[in-house]
Homo-oligomer: A and B are copies of this chain.
Amino acid sequence: MKKITISVPSSVANVSCGFDVLGFCLDKPCDEMTVEIKKTKGLEIKIINEKSITTDPKNNVCGPVAFAMIKKLNLNHGFHITIIKKIKPGSGIGSSAASAAGMAFAINYLTGNTFSKLELVKFAMLGEEIASGAKHADNLSPVIFGGFTLVRSLNPLNIISLPTIEELYVIITHPLIELKTKDSRQIINKQISLEKAIQQWGNLGGFVASLYTKDYELLSKSIDDVIIEPQRLKLIPNFKEIVDAASKYSLGSGISGAGPSIFSICKGEKNAELAMDTIRKITDKKKLEYNLILSGVNKDGIKIIN
């Protein structure tokens, strides 16, 4: 096998009460990524329909992932990488994670599948590091494992696949402003109150339990972020208005990743459609442009197209 084309999905991280640990994978949007063995060393990166991303292998998220794998596998060749970018950079649904995860997945496939999913996340984290300034795995894990994932620990890396409820659908409300993860991280206090932390881990425990028991009422109650969201919501245009509007049909909403997108989780596709209609009534009145996406939860993660 000399060439592979994959569909690499977007994802939601920092899911409400699960800052830095809880994420899930979306059915769409997905990047299309083609990786081909190149006889000579080095990487050649092409990005179709997105000009804001560097194609310099040293600065593109694919670079450090590929170089680390090439070194580990002791390869004497390089790769051609072509990305049709459909996940908008800086939108908060794991654009950089998709490229990093896709890179790790593709090289693993083309070189005989020697690494575990956990190892692929580890390689891909090198890409996330240059994108956001911090090693994190809460977008990468759902892209590589599929469904809902919990990053229990970063050091040593421990990822838990949580059950995926097929009836869950998600609305992504994406205001067309760019918010850098680095900037969005900087405004967060490094000290928090124990009282709020207790509320947060109570909710995270509830969220995890609700996935195992399909308890939608509990899931809904547990989507409550008392620590990060209050600090970040000022960065997200019309956050409260959108969340309030969605609440009639959704189980809960929150900031997707580091923002500016908002996720709203709904029970069933019909409710998701109604939530999207209600959100659109708000966003249509604003000067700012919004992209609205309706997606299922993707339980498989990256898919091989060719």
In the docked arrangement, what's the CA distance between A195 and B222, Å?
21
Task: Determine whether A110 belongs to the interface, using a CB cutoff of 8 Å to chain B.
Answer: no
Flag whether A204 is at the interface (Cβ < 8 A): yes
- Report the Cα distance A11→B95, complex, angstroms: 47
Instruction: Say whether A133 faces chain B, with CB atoms less than 8 Å apart.
Output: no
Chain A, residues 177-219, CB within 8 Å of chain B (1/0): the string is 0000000000011111111011111111111110010000010
Each complex incorporates copies of this chain amounting to 2
Instruction: Report if A238 contacts B (CB, 8 A).
Output: no
Find the B residue at minimum CB distance from A198: B20
Supposing A190-B194, A209-B212 touch, asked if A202 and B151 sit within 8 A by C-beta, the answer is: yes
A34 vs B18: C-alpha distance when bound (angstroms): 45
Which residues of chain A in 135-180 are interfacial with respect to chain B, using CB atoms and an 8 Å cutoff? 150-153, 158, 160, 162
Residues of the B chain whose Cβ atoms lie less than 8 Å from the Cβ of A13: none
Cross-chain contact A218 with B160 (CB below 8 angstroms) = yes
- Can you list 15 residue pairs at the A/B interface with Cβ under 8 Å? A21-B198, A150-B205, A152-B202, A152-B205, A152-B218, A152-B221, A152-B222, A153-B199, A158-B218, A158-B221, A188-B194, A190-B193, A192-B197, A205-B205, A205-B208
